[in-house]
Each structure stands twice: as C-alpha cells, then as structure tokens.
C-alpha cells in the first residue's frame, strides 16, 4: 500500500476531479488525474490505482444512462478500442520510465491544444472505418493515462447525437473499455495487493466526486472549471516533457 503523504495530496483532488467529470461535467475532465498522480509516483502505478475506482464510477454512470445508449456506435468503436488496449499493454510492458513519462506529458499537452484550438465541426455520420481508428486511439490513451474521452469525442461529437444519447453511449463505451483494461493491468502485475489497498482507501471519494459534479453543473461555471483543469494539465504536461527529455538527453 502506498503510504507517501504527498501521493494522497495529489490523489484526493485527482479522484474528485474524475468523479466530478462523471457526475456531469464531462468525461474529458478526468484527463488531469493520471498526470496529477504521476507527480508523486510512476505513471503506470498511478493509472493502476485509479482503474478500480473508474470501474466503480462506471457502474453509477451506466446505471443512470442505460436507457440512452447507441449500440451501433458501440459496435463501431469497440473493435478499434480493443486494438488500442493491446498496443498500450505492449507499450507499458516494454517502454522505459522516461518514455512513459514523456508519453504522459505529450498526451497532456496535445489534449490541451486540441481543447483550446480545435474549431467546431459540422455534423457528419460516422462509419466503421472512422470508428475503428478513433476507437484505437481511445483504447490506447485510456489504457495508458485514462484519457480516452478526447479521441472518442473527436469521433462522436461531429455526429451531434442527442445529449442523453451521447452521455449514455460514452458511459457504456468506457465501462466496456475499463473492463478490458483490467486484463493488461493484471498481466503487468499492477493489480497487486498494495495498489488495490490504496484504491480501497480512496473509494469513499468516488460518490463525493460524483455528487460534487452534479451540484457544480447546477451552480458553478462549467467553463471556469474546465479552464482551471486544462491549465493545470498543460503545466503538468510541460513538466513531464521536460523531465523526460532531461533523462533522455
């Protein structure tokens, strides 16, 4: 079990932020969680501690939106997502620490740039080819840094699904992807007793984060919350890139 107090100083806001996103402010908000935890521990360990908590959040999300799921979109995305999960497993098993750190940093910076500078796109229908491609990126980024929401959004948002259908489809999609991720994390030895005990300590934060998300969407500025989180993510990403390049150089 992780006992470093600095880890929990990072873990408490990280889990709450992810729960807030699940509570209604959008799954992409959780992209900050792994980079934040990685300030105090290895990125793979950070992701492993978060994974059981995400699975628990998925139970609440899927139960709440089970009547609003577009199964056609799920069928188009899941095959590519499975490929992405396998690719991420190989990356995590073989890559040196500095490369994983750099990957987390690069993914963080790219997600921020996409969020800030990508203009709205017109509605269009998605096909199996596009679903497979973006599903692969969703599986890859979801497995490594629990940040598959951005690639999945790049595929789903242009189709302009009805709001409840979009939320329900995203909930089911990442519920399935997170279940698939349990296999590579178990094979990598990351679902060990120490990490699971650490996850158990953080479980009470899950409903608190979700409740805060439900409350904030009614009272606070969603734009302000996202701006603060993405600013933090961008600074963390630059820090990881600098640390990775320093070791590599």
Ordered by start, the domain boundaries in the chain are 5-248
165, 186 in Cβ contact below 8 A?
no
24, 62 in Cβ contact below 8 A?
no
Per-residue pLDDT of the chain (249 residues; tens, 9 = 90+): 788 888 999 899 889 888 887 766 655 666 778 778 888 888 888 889 999 999 998 888 788 778 888 999 999 999 999 999 999 999 888 878 778 778 777 877 887 887 788 776 555 556 668 889 989 988 988 888 787 877 787 788 777 777 778 778 888 998 999 999 999 999 999 999 999 999 999 999 988 887 887 677 667 665 676 676 677 778 777 877 887 888 777
Q: Say what the pLDDT of residue 26 is.
A: 58
146, 107 in Cβ contact below 8 A?
no
249 C-beta neighbours (distance < 10 Å), count: 6
Give the predicted TM-score (pTM) of the model.
Answer: 0.78
């Amino acid at each position: 079990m992780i006992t470093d107090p600095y880890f929990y100083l990072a873990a408490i806001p990280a889990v709450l932020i992810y729960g807030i996103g699940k509570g209604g402010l959008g799954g992409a908000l959780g992209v900050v969680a792994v980079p934040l935890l990685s300030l105090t521990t290895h990125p793979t360990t950070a992701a492993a501690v978060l994974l059981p908590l995400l699975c628990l959040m998925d139970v609440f999300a899927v139960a709440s939106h089970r009547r609003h799921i577009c199964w056609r979109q799920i069928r188009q995305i899941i095959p590519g997502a499975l490929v992405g999960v396998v690719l991420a497993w190989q990356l995590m098993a073989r890559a040196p620490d500095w490369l994983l750190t750099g990957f987390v940093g690069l993914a963080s910076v790219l997600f921020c740039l996409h969020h800030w500078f990508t203009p709205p796109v017109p509605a269009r229908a998605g096909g199996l080819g596009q679903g497979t491609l973006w599903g692969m990126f969703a599986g890859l980024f979801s497995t490594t840094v629990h940040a598959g929401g951005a690639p999945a959004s790049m595929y789903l948002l242009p189709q302009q699904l009805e709001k409840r259908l979009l939320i329900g489809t995203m909930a089911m999609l990442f519920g399935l992807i997170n279940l698939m991720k349990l296999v590579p994390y178990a094979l990598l030895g990351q679902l060990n007793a120490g990490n699971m005990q650490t996850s158990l300590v953080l479980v009470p934060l899950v409903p608190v984060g979700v409740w805060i998300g439900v409350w904030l969407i009614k009272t606070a500025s969603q734009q302000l919350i996202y701006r603060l989180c993405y600013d933090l993510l961008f600074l963390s990403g630059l820090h990881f890139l600098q640390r990775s390049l320093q070791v590599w150089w």
